A = this chain, B = another copy of it.
Amino acid sequence: MAEFTPRNPGFAERTRSSFARQGFMSYLGAELTALTPGACEIRLPYRDELSQQHRYFHGGVIGTLADNAGGYAAFTLMGKDDSILTVEFKLNIVAPGEGEFLVARGHVVRAGRTLSVCRSDVFGVDGGVETLCGTAQMTLMRLADRSDGPAD
């Protein structure tokens, strides 16, 4: 995995603050569990409210975590006045999302001036054993000098 130098030394605090302002993350019960320049990890415990018809994690939940892990991986490399948005997102679901919790790990593949490409993997974790359930590739766009939200 490539090494990246963040433009904003306060990247971790700013990323955590943005994550905390996403109502949907707290509604799901997701937690930002690791953050380094160009990489991000998110965890989410199982609840029936997150299930599809077979009681696995819903594909939309897997996709949401994959998207957010990749997006915040890219966000760690933004300048302190930049915002970011997801241009597009492609996810393969390779196994049912099953286990006590999901963990999604995203990383930046290439950080361009305007566009960044990221990947993320999502695992179901049961008794400490991780099983890949989804793998994603996505494109993010930097919005220069655009606030990341009301409290940014």
Contacts and interface: CB of A to CB of B under 8 A. Distances in A.
Contacts of A65: 60
B93 A91 contact: no
A21 B148 contact: no
Interface in A45-87: 48-55, 58-61, 63-65, 67-68, 71, 85-87
A127 interface: no
A59 B49 contact: no
A149 B54 contact: yes
Nearest to A93: B86
Interface in A77-111: 85-95, 109-110
Given A23-B51, A63-B64, A93-B88, A135 B117 contact: yes
B87 A87 contact: yes
Nearest to A60: B64
Given A22-B51, A24-B50, A88 B89 contact: no
Given A59-B89, A87-B93, A110-B132, 11 more contacts: A21-B53, A22-B52, A23-B49, A54-B148, A58-B64, A60-B60, A60-B65, A87-B115, A89-B91, A114-B114, A137-B137
